[in-house]
Chains A and B, each alone.
Chain A
Amino acid sequence: MKEYKDIDRLFQEKFRDFEKNPSGKVWKNIENTLVVKPKRERKAVWLWLSGVAASLVILFFMNESVFNTTTTPTNTLDTEQEFSNKDNTTTSEVASTQTKEGSSQSTENHQTKNTIITKPIHLQKLENTIAEKYTTKQTSDQKIKQLSTLTNSTNSTKKENIQTPKTNLSNTTYPQKSNKTILQMLSETKHKIAQTDSETLNKLTAQTNSPSVTKEHTLTTSENLAESTVEVEKTTSNKKWAVSTVVAPVYLSAFDKKASSIDDQFDENVKQGRFSAAYGVQVAYQLNTRFSLQSGLHIVNYGYKTYGVYVSPSGAVSRYANINYDLDANLVDVRAAPSMAPLNVLNETKIKESKGDLTQVFGYIEIPIEAKYRLNKGSLGINLVGGFSTLLLNKNEIFIEMTDFSNKLGEASNLNSLNFSGNLGLELEYKLYKNVNFNLMPMFKAQTNTFEKNTAGFSPYAIGVYSGLNLRF
């Protein structure tokens, strides 16, 4: 049956409980936009503990850099006010022998001390701290001057009021305190300041007509704290960790292909790197939507071959200074070319020389520290990675290899046990599952300080394609 109906009402009634589910892709898109992925790394079960150690190093680094950065305004503020109290107390305590303080400061000190008397525990803390930090007194004196200037602009009655909030403040703010408690401290401090400010302002308003300077100071204090609190919470909320395993084929080469690290006699020989494997674990920490830091622990073995050397099973040995020979290595004689082996002329009966390859293997425990910058958004992330690695030598061997014969000569004597590399890479990161990503990262690592004397200009670099799975938590 037809009826006249108010249009608005018709629609309002129909749409009152209107709900409709969107397609699943909407959440996926939202998730991809919101989630910024940290991480990447490598594998090796027994290295797990080392990975944890590396993550602790990063955590320490985080605390030092990230949190200090965001809490700087608060710390500065607290420090200033703390200094004023400490210094006041100091002056009071040593008033009989230290007479450098001005008369106005003495007045303040007196007032401060009166206030502190009501808080004996706090006074003790301050005194103890002062004993340790007396060297900061000069800075404190400057602060006191600033505060004196500030307080001189109001009358002496106001001074007493001004000291009260400062003393209260120092009850809850200790610049040397651990960062872990900053949030809690800020919260308490903010609360107390709010109360103190209110009381102080009420008093000031009642006692003077020109308290603007004091008001500004105290109000700014609480505003700064509020901002700092927000900043700290914001930073904390972005914290994301990722742990990953990685494995990579790595290839060692040298900037100067002619140079030989063993002896310049082999400069003319063809030399080439050997593919080998690197593996390890990594931890990553996401600083913000773009930046992550990562570290870890890798095991890597590099190989470098010098082709076409001449080997004779002779006891007449030409020794190379850059090789520490094994005891049984004196059975072979290795040369770059037969013509360069004059001893053979004297010993014609055993000129049975064979051609072979000289292989040098050196392995490291690698500890990379790298920063990662996210270039794009979406489920396939592209990250620019840069950093450096500390390399600890843990394998050092030189072999002579022929078709039917292989023998370890010894080890290189010119390899440094500690060296470094500069790392640059591009990481592709694909989300496989909620918190699991697959990483593929071609990386270039230029080594420095590999050899003691940069032997004959031999300067190696490594190229690796690191891949692995990372788990974000």
Chain B
Amino acid sequence: MSLEKLIQRCAKNDQKAQEEIYRLYAGKLFALCLKYSRNKAEAEDNLQDGFIQIFKKVNQFKYKGSFEGWMKRVVINTALQKYREKNVLNLVSSDVVEEITVVEVEEEEISLDYLLNLIQELPNQYRLVFNLYVLDGYSHKEVAQALQISEGTSKSNLSRARGILKNKIEWNQQEPNQYKAF
């Protein structure tokens, strides 16, 4: 069955179509949730709420752009909304921070799970800004809008996030086993 047909059936609350959509995209969207969450449990919560929102709002999908992209935005918004509701996005600072762009690594030794763990350990706002800007291609203007912060704060948070990541990666180089620990 074509994706368009599946979407149309989802819009009619067809349970089988919903399950099929879930089966097709759960892997990618769960990966997305893992990046935006602090741990697996929180990621599963976000995935669950994200899919519920997707199925509720699927009528609003206008076939402009990919369905996957639209779903990702819904899931991200759902995750961000939780942080907004909990009022935890208060790590606000627009201090000018030294721009860090490179890190010395032995890339082959670094596992994805290790990097994921580093992201999850970041303070909430740093993690969200880093994800939105670096991994999901949002501009600082869009990040600022999504997190209800200023663009300067977004840039500052991104630099701090990079700094933390760089330090951890470089520090762990002294103990290479850390790379494979996850």
Contact = CB atoms under 8 A, between A and B. Distances in A.
Interface string A21-49: 11101110111011100000000000000
Given A15-B115, A26-B48, A20 B103 contact: no
Main secondary structure of the interface of A (DSSP, over half): helix
Contacts of B166: 7
Contacts of A129: none
Interface residues of B, number: 42
Contact of B102 (A4, A18, A20, A234): A4
Contacts of B43: 22
A8 interface: yes
Interface string A7-22: 1101110110011111
Contacts of A180: none
B75 to A, nearest CB: 12
For chain A, the bracket of interface size reads: 20 to 34
A387 to B, nearest CB: 26
B156 to A, nearest CB: 16
A371 to B, nearest CB: 21
A27 B103 contact: no
A237 interface: yes
A11 to B, nearest CB: 6
A133 interface: no
Contact of A15 (B13, B35, B101): B35
Contacts of A7: 100-103, 162, 165-166
Interface string B10-30: 011101001100100011101
Contacts of B126: none
B110 to A, nearest CB: 7
Interface string B24-58: 00111011001100000001100110011001000
Interface centre among A7, A19, A29, A238 (most CB of B within 10 A): A7
Given A4-B103, A34-B18, A34-B55, A12 B135 contact: yes
Given A2-B106, A19-B27, A35 B15 contact: yes
A348 interface: no
A27 B19 contact: yes
A26 B44 contact: yes
A237 B12 CA distance: 4
A1 interface: yes
Contact of A238 (B13, B27, B55): B13
B26 A21 contact: yes
Interface in A152-174: none
A22 B39 CA distance: 12
A33 B49 CA distance: 10
Interface in A198-249: 230, 233-234, 236-238
B104 A2 contact: yes
B40 to A, nearest CB: 8
B106 A20 contact: no
Given A15-B35, A15-B115, A19-B28, A4 B104 contact: yes
Nearest to A8: B134
A100 interface: no
Contacts of B48: 26, 29-30, 33
B3 interface: no
B15 A14 contact: no
A429 B100 CA distance: 58
A2 B105 contact: yes
Contacts of A20: 27, 30-31, 34
Given A3-B105, A19-B27, A237-B12, 16 more contacts: A2-B106, A5-B102, A5-B103, A7-B101, A7-B103, A7-B165, A8-B162, A10-B107, A10-B110, A11-B119, A11-B130, A12-B134, A15-B135, A18-B31, A18-B35, A26-B48
14 contacts: A3-B104, A7-B166, A11-B115, A11-B130, A15-B31, A15-B35, A19-B27, A20-B27, A21-B30, A27-B22, A30-B22, A34-B52, A35-B15, A234-B59
Interface of A: 1-8, 10-12, 14-15, 18-23, 25-27, 29-31, 33-35, 230, 233-234, 236-238
